[in-house]
Structure 1
Amino acid sequence: MVILKYKDWQNTVDTLGMYIQMVGKVALERIPQEPEWESAMLHITPTGISTGNIPSENGLFQISFNFIKHELVILDENGKEAVTPLKDGVSVAQFYKIFLSKLEFLGYRTDIYSIPQEWNFTTPFEKDETHKSYDREAVEKWFEMIKYAYKILSKFAAPFRGRRTKVNFYWGCLDMGTVRYSGKLLNIDPSLPVGFRYGVDAEEVEFGFNLGNNNIGEPYFFGFMWPNNPDEYKKIALPIEKTYYNDQFIYKLTDCLATSNPDESAMTFFQSVYEAATKIQDWQNLESYNKPLELPSQKIRRNK
């Protein structure tokens, strides 16, 4: 697996990120709302990222990125589809116009907020002629990392008996994660931006994977609790070498892959963050939340 640093494909990230935000914003407007915005999250598929089912006045539809064929597909319940190639040289503004026209053609017109969120620029989609890079090879390498992280996060998330999310893809900054909740609701701080305000209104511990389009600069696993207390964080010593705290716990993918058992190292990282956070936050019901599933073994291959 090739590890891409943000600087290696920044132009493509900044362009693809806007494409993905367009799709996420449709899900945000149309799917029935769930706590902490979970309904608006995207989902990993074998070939890319999808909204899953979106209800509408004209039936169900879904929007999916295919990073094998490099295309965006809008598919509805009648089998109608609209395909848009993902290719180099198409500006965000051009793609936005095409995307909206195909939505409307199929009968799913959706008015979305066109200013980027959680990004380092705020040019509205319809005016962004600057970002128009699409490096197919880089996208494929990135998606290989996504699939690897998804496998580990899915395994980690699965046995938790309390309220948790599936492994979601966050279209705001192109990271991926799963969240566990203690069951305690928090008072909403009205001074926070609306997205953040309603995204952190419950006590939680989050675990995920980020491509490094920030000050880290390279892909990494992360874990953190909310609400957080940096002073308490700094006292935590995780049993994994080369992990560190930078607003959240960081474990770079390169360091993880350098271990003798990367999958196990990543699992241990997530579990260590979970145990430390639940101790600091004094979670109740841990015995029931952590009770082993004790289900029958899965048969990967059936006998003939």
Structure 2
Amino acid sequence: MNSNIMDNNIRNVRFPSLPIEEWEDTKDTLHLFMQIVGKIRLGLFPKKNHWWHVPFYVSTRGLTTGPIPYKNFIFEMEFDFREHVLRIDSSSGDSRNIELEGLSVARFYKAVFSGLSEFGIETSILAVPYDAPDVSTEPFETDEKHAAYDREYVKRYWQILLQVDSIFQVFRGQFIGKCSPAHVFWHHGDLALTLFSGRPARVREGAGPVEREAYSHEVISFGFWAGDKNVREPAFYAYAAPQPEGLMEEPLRPKEAFWNPEAGMALLMYNSIREAESPGQKVLDFLESVYLAGAKRANWDIEAFRLPSYEKQPEKSSGAIPAH
């Protein structure tokens, strides 16, 4: 892949600060809001391979489920981080906004299902957090504890996702093999992109149904997440599954990147690139270096997956008939 094709708009972008200590309560509340909406999409959207039917997508206003089919119409749910509402729209013309600020998880949960009911959408979810013991184990319907919402930090989080999504799109554009969309998994709130070799993989013994489906084939995966109880700052990450022998002996770029054997992945801490002259280029260098390391060690056909170079075609004439 060639990271030098990066557009100047990405090259010169700036990343806002996102100290987890300053917005952790908001982050946890937003995470639970996302799980509620994500579970609705999971329940209603037609199943796709590798769980691609469950995540959100970065949008011009925030995060969206994209269109969800329901009976004879479609609807969409979007976290609008400009207006700080959850917007529910349907193809039949119905629309409803649910304010995000000032709502507990319990009140948000009830407002969302009330709104869907008004649209004629009847559905249910397993109304407890999914694999988030460090955030909450309280059922959504009774969770009055999580109610923090700082507009400024939510906006910063979204602005970072916008920029990272753009970088991922550039990186993905150089790979012609099977690839996931760039999407936000509400499980942990990370923006992820996954490349596939096309070869089936043996999933580790004891893996659950989610892991078996996600890693049924060889992958090299990349992501960004805002930090958690253990990693106390935002970071870019990347890993190969299954992990090929000798992967962590391979060099990484930029110099701030490092292998974390305990986590089984490469890391590039967000704060290490924020003030760089070209932070977007540093992220692209990281993505490409991990891809090359994983592809080399797992014997992927790197050249076969590379987007062929091409010469720009000359501009056509204005259409005037040439003189004879």
Q: CA deviation at 1:5?
A: 2.0
Q: Distance in 1 between matches of 2:294 and 2:203?
A: 21
Q: Distance in 1 between matches of 2:157 and 2:187?
A: 17
Q: CA deviation at 1:184?
A: 1.1
Alignment of structure 1 residues 25-174 onto 2, 5 Å:
25-88=39-102, 90-119=103-132, 120=134, 121-174=136-189
Q: CA deviation at 1:181?
A: 0.3
Q: CA deviation at 1:189?
A: 4.9
Q: CA deviation at 1:183?
A: 0.4
Identity %: 28
Local SS of the residue matching 1:41: coil
Q: Distance in 1 between matches of 2:296 and 2:174?
A: 19
Q: CA deviation at 1:214?
A: 4.1
Higher-Rg structure is: 2
Q: Deviations over 1:166-189 (max 9, x none)?
A: 211111111101110000122445
Structure with the larger RCO, 1 or 2 (CA within 8 Å, 6+ apart): 2
What is the aligned partner in structure 2 of residue 288 from structure 1?
Answer: 304
Local SS of the residue matching 1:61: strand
Distance 1:30 1:240, change over 3 A: same
Distance 1:296 1:35, change over 3 A: farther
Q: Distance in 1 between matches of 2:200 and 2:125?
A: 29
Distance 1:129 1:293, change over 3 A: farther
C-alpha RMSD of matched pairs (Å): 1.8
TM-score by length of 2: 0.86
Contact 2:251 2:293 in 1 (8 A): no
Q: CA deviation at 1:211?
A: 0.7
Return 5+ residue gaps in structure 2 as ranges: 1-14, 316-324
Following TM superposition, the consecutive aligned residue runs of length 4 or more in structure 1 with deviations greater than 3 angstroms are: 187-190
Q: Distance in 2 between matches of 1:207 and 1:273?
A: 9
Q: Distance in 2 between matches of 1:76 and 1:87?
A: 23
Residue 210, structure 1, aligned to residue 229, structure 2: no
Moved more, 120-129 or 58-67: 120-129
Q: CA deviation at 1:2?
A: 2.5
User: What amino acid sits opposite 1:292 in the alignment?
Assistant: P
Q: Distance in 1 between matches of 2:46 and 2:253?
A: 41
Local SS of the residue matching 1:257: coil
What is the aligned partner in structure 2 of residue 302 from structure 1?
Answer: none
What is the aligned partner in structure 2 of residue 274 from structure 1?
Answer: 291
What is the aligned partner in structure 2 of residue 19 from structure 1?
Answer: 33
Q: Distance in 2 between matches of 1:292 and 1:156?
A: 14
